[in-house]
Amino acid sequence: MRDRAAAKRARPQIPASPAGERLHKVLARAGLASRREIESWIEAGRVRLNGKPAGLGDRASASDRIEVDGELVDLRAVTPLKTRVLVYYKEAGEVCTRKDPEGRPTIFAKLPRIRRGQWVAIGRLDLNTTGLILFTTNGELAHRLMHPSREIEREYSVRVIGQATPAQIQNLLRGVELADGPAAFNAVREIGGTGINRWYSVVLKEGRNREVRRLWESQGLTVSRLIRTRYGPCSLLRWRHPGQFWDLELKEFAELMVAAGLHAEASKPRGRISRPKSATGGRTHRSKPATRERTGRGKTDRARRRPGSDRDE
C-alpha cells in the first residue's frame, strides 16, 4: 500500500486547463467581428483584458472585464440563441467595406440595426459582382464558414463572352496555375445564352480574390457578368431583387449551422424582413429595397452595419 501511494505521489501532475475560452473566440461570438479581424485588434493593442493589454493567447470568461477601444464589451450577448443570419442581395456598384473614402455605397447601408454586436459579412464580392452575401451576428460562425477547411460550396452564374470549348472546360475542372497558386472549379455547367454571350453555372469551395474571373481569364475568356447564387445551403431565390435583405428560413438556418459544425447552437431565427410585395395570384413584382424592420417591441429601426474577411469572386 505504501509503495502504491508513493508511486501515485510521484506521477507528474497534469496542470488544470485555463479558465474560459480564447479571447478572440469570445469576442467573435459576441458579434464584434470575425476571429481573424479580432486577432488584428489584439495585435494592435485595441483590446484590454481586466485592465491590461490583451495577448493573442489570453483566455476570458463572463467574469472578466473586456474592453475594445476603451468601451466595455457586454458578454451577455454571447449566447447561441442570439445568433442571427441575414441574406443580402448585393447590387452592382456596392463595395464590401463599412465606409468608402470615395463615397461609394456599401453593402452595410441597408442592413437593419441591431442592439448588440455588429453584422459580420461572410465573404465578399467585388464592385461589379452581384448576388448573395450572408451576414451574421456570430463572428465564430462567420469564421468557420469562411475557413478553407470547411470546404463550403459557393455557386455562381457567369456570363462569358464567347463559348468555352470542351478542352477549356476540362482545364478549369482539372486546375490551372494562378498568380496565388493552383485553382479549379468543382463543377462547370452550361445553362444558356444567345449570340456571343454564354451563361455557365460554376461551383468553388474556396474564396480567393477575383478567383472566378481569373479562372475564366486563364482560358482567354472574359466574364461580362457574375452573380453569386448560393453559399453552402443558402440559395438566392429568383423572385428576390438587388438591394433586398431577409432572414434565413428555419431549415436553411439549421443546415448552415450544421455546415459550420455548430449544429448544437442552432436556434429559430427571427421573422423574415424586406419581403417583396405580391399581387393577386401569387405573382411577384419588383419592390423598392427595404431599409427598415420591425423590432420585437414594435419600434422601427433604420439600417446600417459591418464587413467580413475573405473574398469570393
Q: Can you give the pLDDT at residue 263?
A: 64
Q: For position 291, what pLDDT does the model report?
A: 38
- With pLDDT > 90 as the criterion, what percentage of the chain qualifies? 42
Q: For residue 85, which of 313, 285, 258 has the smallest C-alpha distance? A: 258
Q: Element (H or E) spanning 200, and its range?
A: strand 197-204
Does position 287 have pLDDT exceeding 80, yes or no? no
Residues 171-193, mean pLDDT to the nearest whole number: 95
d(CA 60, CA 51): 13
Q: Between 14 and 72, name the one with better pLDDT.
A: 72
> In the structure, what pLDDT confidence band is assigned to residue 88 with cuts at 50, 70 and 90?
very high
Cell for 287?
A: 419592390
Separation of alpha carbons 160 and 197, rounded Å: 6
**Burial (CB count within 10 angstroms: exposed 0-12, middle 13-18, buried 19+), residue 32:** buried
* Residue 126 falls in the annotated catalytic set: yes
Provide φ and ψ at 49, rounded to 5°.
-120, 115
Q: Is the predicted pLDDT of residue 279 greater than 70, yes or no?
A: no
Higher local confidence (pLDDT), 41 or 286: 41
From 58, 126, 180, 301, active-site residue: 126
Q: How are beta strands 21-22 and 59-60 bridged, if at all?
A: antiparallel
Residue scoring higher pLDDT (238 or 284): 238
Which pTM was predicted?
0.67
Q: Has residue 7 got a pLDDT over 70? A: no
Per-residue pLDDT reduced to its tens digit, 230-275 = 999 999 988 999 999 999 988 899 999 999 988 644 444 554 445 4
H or E stretch at 43: helix 35-43
pLDDT for 58:
87
What is the spatial distance between Cα 69 and Cα 91, in angstroms, rounded to a whole number? 32
Domains in the chain, please, with CATH?
20-77 (3.10.290.10), 80-149+234-269+290-302 (3.30.70.580), 153-231 (3.30.2350.10)
Whether the predicted pLDDT of 81 surpasses 50:
no
Range name among 10-19, 41-50, 109-118 with the lowest pLDDT average = 10-19
Nearest one of 247, 245, 246, 175 to 211, comparing CA atoms = 175
Regarding beta strands 130-136 and 222-231, do their DSSP bridges make them parallel or antiparallel, or are they unpaired? parallel
Task: Decide: 55 and 42 in contact? Cβ < 8 Å.
Answer: yes
Q: Is the pLDDT score of 201 beyond 60?
A: yes
> Is residue 212 packed enough to be buried (19+ CB in 10 Å), middle (13-18) or exposed (0-12)?
buried
